[in-house]
Amino acid sequence: MSVILDGINYIIGLGVSVMMPIIITILGLVFRQKLGVSFKAGLMVGIGFIGINLIINLLLEEIGPVTNAMVERFDFQLTAVDIGWGSGAAVAWGTEVVPFVFIAIIATNIIMIAFNWTKTMDIDIWNYWQPLFISSALYITTGSMIIAVLSAVINMAIVFKLADWTQKDVEEVLGLEGISLPQIQTTGWAILGYPMNNLLDKTPGIRKLNWTTDKIQERVGMFGEPVMMGLIIGIGLGAAAGFSVGDILHTGVTVAAALILLPRMVALLMEGLTVISEGAQDFLQKRFPDRELYIGLDSALGIGHPFVLSLGLLMIPITLMLAFILPGNKVLPLADLSNLPFYMIFAILPSRGNLLRGLIIGTIIMIVVLYLSSFAAPLMTELGQQFGYNVPEGSAEITNMAIGSQWYTWVVYWVLEQLSGLF
């Protein structure tokens, strides 16, 4: 079994820019496309991911000091520090459940596709860490491999159905043709986002306010364009952090650059994916005329849209304020603040880009995330220390908002933990 685990870790360790071209090339051949066409498509996907990751890392490097400065400036006194999603991923990929859960997830996807229970073919292997974390936590707390594997099957079956359900909006609003987003920490929020948007449709005063990018541009001209919105948001964040004038302007230009460059990198990646998506549809149509197939990919493609990224950045100071005022919260948001755009896709997608509704729904999402991250802190501290994550001086526990963002997996965790005595 250790050989299988080592093999999986080796493939994952290649990184998305190498792993995805290999997967895309193989898929192209499976769908009866020529080797040259498949390889070029895979290469374009790899190049696109490199571009996306470069820009995201540039943004993280800029926003990281901003959030640290804001925390220090306002002297938040909270006991569980957010050390980032990487700690959760390390736990997820580091336990003995990995080969069993990994195979179970792939088998679940294949079976659901075969029986037409899902249209999503999930090739985003790296983000398997999200169900793997809960599986690892359940295995360590209950000792039951059956419970651990069952949790992953349930969690992924749910997200495959959610990815199908939301695909049309992902395609029409975000421009990702034939793509779905089967990531729990992103698409799981569709369960909350759509009903909340329907409620806002019926709320007097709010229902008629439409703060989409088009409407904003109509009212404020060039200041409503993505590049200007990025500049203004970046300058506002830098000012809130107490930066010097030069650093404030640098933050503004960097955020503006991210809002312009990310969509272009996504478009580059889509050049390769479109070839494979069309090949998959042709392959299916010949054999199953009434079937449709979506390619399940990383939600990083979704944050390339200007209104998603803008909302995620605006939620940084709001999240810090929530952490300070919410009774019972003990999480000090820090490392994962830069990843808020990933959690915000389905705060704003149901309204098709209405920034006001996105802020309202996003605020509710972050309240849930903070409380779940607080709940998970003792467990994350116990697991993290087994993997070498020490509690920072001045804090009592460690946690991360990424595991808090996987909200419905905690429902599965609570239920299966109670049932563990039966297995």
DSSP 138-172: HHHHH--HHHHHHHHHHHHHHHHHHHHHHHHHHHH
What is the average pLDDT across 183-189? Answer: 97
What is the average pLDDT across 304-311? Answer: 87
pLDDT exceeds cutoff 80 at 106: yes
Residue 50 vs residue 385, higher pLDDT? 50
pLDDT of residue 343: 95
Picking from 106-120, 277-291, 353-367, which range would have the lowest pLDDT averaged per residue?
277-291
Picking from 32-46, 81-95, 148-162, which range would have the lowest pLDDT averaged per residue?
81-95
Q: How would residue 384 be classed by pLDDT, with cut points 50, 70 and 90?
A: confident
pLDDT exceeds cutoff 90 at 367: yes
pLDDT of residue 360: 96
pLDDT of residue 349: 95
Average pLDDT of the chain, as a whole number: 87
Q: What is the pLDDT of residues 15-32, one digit of tens each?
A: 777 878 888 888 888 888
pLDDT of residue 200: 95
Picking from 28-42, 157-171, 193-207, 213-227, which range would have the lowest pLDDT averaged per residue?
213-227
399: tokens are 């946690």
Sheet with 179-180: strands ordered across: 120-122, 294-296, 179-180
Cα–Cα dist 376/368, whole Å: 12
pLDDT exceeds cutoff 70 at 8: no
pLDDT of residue 79: 83
pLDDT of residue 366: 98
Residue length, the chain? 423
pLDDT of residue 423: 65
Most confident of the ranges 116-125, 178-187, 332-341? 178-187
Q: DSSP code of 180? A: E
Residue 149 vs residue 285, higher pLDDT? 149
Residue 297 near residue 124 (C-beta atoms within 8 A): yes
The β-bridge relationship of strands 80-82 and 331-332 is parallel
What is the average pLDDT across 89-109? Answer: 89
Output the CA–CA distances (angstroms, integers) from residue 413 to 136, 139, 253, in the order listed. Answer: 11, 11, 43
pLDDT of residue 198: 96
pLDDT of residue 280: 78
SS3 50: helix
Q: What is the pLDDT of residues 310-348, one digit of tens each?
A: 899 999 999 999 999 999 999 989 888 888 999 999 999
CB-facing half-sphere around the CA of 404: CA atoms within 13 A: 32
What is the average pLDDT across 214-218? Answer: 67
Q: How far is CA 353 from the centre of its chain?
A: 18
pLDDT of residue 224: 67
pLDDT exceeds cutoff 90 at 134: yes
pLDDT of residue 218: 66
Q: How would residue 201 be classed by pLDDT, with cut points 50, 70 and 90?
A: very high
Q: How would residue 179 be classed by pLDDT, with cut points 50, 70 and 90?
A: very high
Percentage of residues of the chain with pLDDT beyond 70:
93
Q: What is the pLDDT of residues 241-284, one digit of tens each?
A: 899 999 999 999 998 998 888 888 888 888 888 888 788 778 77
Cα–Cα dist 324/93, whole Å: 32
pLDDT exceeds cutoff 80 at 115: yes
Nearest one of 116, 113, 159, 154 to 135, comparing CA atoms: 154
Nearest one of 364, 362, 356, 360 to 212, comparing CA atoms: 356
60 C-beta neighbours (distance < 10 Å), count: 16
